[in-house]
A = this chain, B = another copy of it.
Amino acid sequence: MNANLKKLYEKLKLIRYYEHAEGIMYFDFETCVPKDAMENEGDTMSFFSNQAFKIKKSKAFEELVIDLYKDINSLDYLDQILVKDLYEDYQKAKNITPKMELAMSKVYNQAYIDWLKAKNEKNYKLFVPSFKKVIDISKKQIELRENRLDDLYDNMLNDCEKGLLQKELDVFFNDLKNGLIELIGKIKKSKKKIRKDFLSRIVPIYKQEAFSKYLLELNGYDFNRGYLTTTEHPFTSSIAKDDARVTTHYHEDMVLSNIYSIIHEGGHAILMQNEPEVDYEHFINDNVTNGMHESVSRFFENVIGRSKAYVHLIYPKFIETFEEFSDISEQELYEAINIVEPSLIRTEADEVTYGLHIVIRYEMEKKLASGELKVKDAPKEWNRLYKEYLGVKPKDDSEGILQDVHWTGGFGYFPSYAIGNAYNAMYLKELRKEYNFEELIEKGDFKTINSWLKEHVFKDANHLDPKDWIKQITNKELSAKDFLEYLNNKYKDIYKF
């Protein structure tokens, strides 16, 4: 092995200790830490992320990266990926001192604390100062980059989904918006009536817990390398090798909320649990982009989870666990989980209107990043867009602009959800070339499904940029076409238009 590469690995091993500790602390921060201890724990987290940053900013580390980058072609394929990433990180962080990094990290932690308080108290004003700081610091972070793109928001997008910029995303989102509005129009005109009265029946949380475990295991999640607990805003966390944790939020009167959250987060975790082992050894195991990740989680949540075949598969266990629903037929359940109805909360939205929640966020992020929209005016704009695109109006900001945690960490993530939908509709077509997809689901054959994903979707997710990755799987470029086709086919059948 190249002597410099060996030295680099030693340093990365050290950094991995810090990242492991940070991962555990972050998980603790979101799931366990008591209210009064949050600020203190945030401080400690910032201290450790700063310690790791200091190693990366050390002369020794930077020189290793620069030297290895100079002669990158002499390295193995996976090490080339590693060194290229590190070199880009080096360029990004070149003008950021550890002191600045510490200050930034504290801003993000405080923003989370303030957001949580604001959401609980339904008072956006409590979040405003932190939100402003997050935007300012995100901008500053980018302005200080050596290798930045011209447009500010393009940098933010690029950090989440490398290579995908507004120019293309504007087209993508425009197609998506038009296609969705057209489809929603057809659905609105449909005479089909779907029962939804039973969806708010009270279901004790302990039953939901049991069902969540059943679903995760059914879908192929391995509890020997995972853990399930609760949080405010569900997420999945890749804490370390063999440690991919899922969180959820139970509502007694929204049993489906947890079910689809679990299937979604379980999807993230299944990707994490099936990354090539070798990626971990080469320190590139965290390269999967958000769009790729969301493609998998939403593949499980929607393409699998909301399919007729999946409902058929889980129905017996569903009514066994929840006697509360024993009078509901399989068909009624299937229709109810696919009811299309404009609503306020993104994470509770159906597959069709969901895209519009993202369009709204995409449009707002662009304007907030450019300064065209002021932070103080954001709830007004939020509510205006919800009115315009979805025809609904939040009764307060906790079900409006404060519903999502994402902006406590800056912009750029939301588009990933819509991109993910597009990706998975594209690769679903490939899967169908090899298998009768519905049959696999009905049989509960997740071994075959997950093997296929592993072989085609997961295999190079850490190695390729999104554009090359989706091209490799589907031989096509990102577009909303397959997704819209998938939706139209599915909902034509449900709404009989």
Contact = CB atoms under 8 A, between A and B. Distances in A.
Given A28-B28, A48-B17, A206-B206, A224 B41 contact: no
B34 A17 contact: no
Contacts of A225: 34-37
Classify the secondary structure of A's interface with B. helix
Nearest to A13: B47
Contact of A229 (B20, B21, B32, B48): B32
A185 to B, nearest CB: 45
Contact of A241 (B20, B32, B40, B242): B40
Given A25-B24, A27-B28, A206-B204, A243 B34 contact: yes
B32 A245 contact: yes
Contact of A227 (B33, B44, B241, B245): B33
Copies of this polypeptide in the complex: 2
Contacts of A241: 37, 40
B41 A240 contact: yes
Contacts of A44: 17, 20-21, 24, 240
Contacts of A48: 17, 21
A205 interface: yes
A2 to B, nearest CB: 26
Contacts of A224: 34-36
Interface string A150-193: 00000000000000000000000000000000000000000000
Contact of A17 (B37, B47, B227): B47
A19 to B, nearest CB: 9
A273 to B, nearest CB: 10
Interface of A: 17, 20-21, 24-25, 27-28, 32-37, 40-41, 44, 47-48, 204-206, 223-227, 229, 239-243, 245
22 contacts: A17-B44, A17-B47, A17-B48, A20-B40, A21-B44, A24-B41, A25-B25, A28-B28, A33-B227, A33-B243, A34-B225, A34-B226, A34-B242, A34-B245, A35-B224, A36-B224, A36-B243, A37-B240, A40-B241, A40-B242, A205-B206, A206-B206
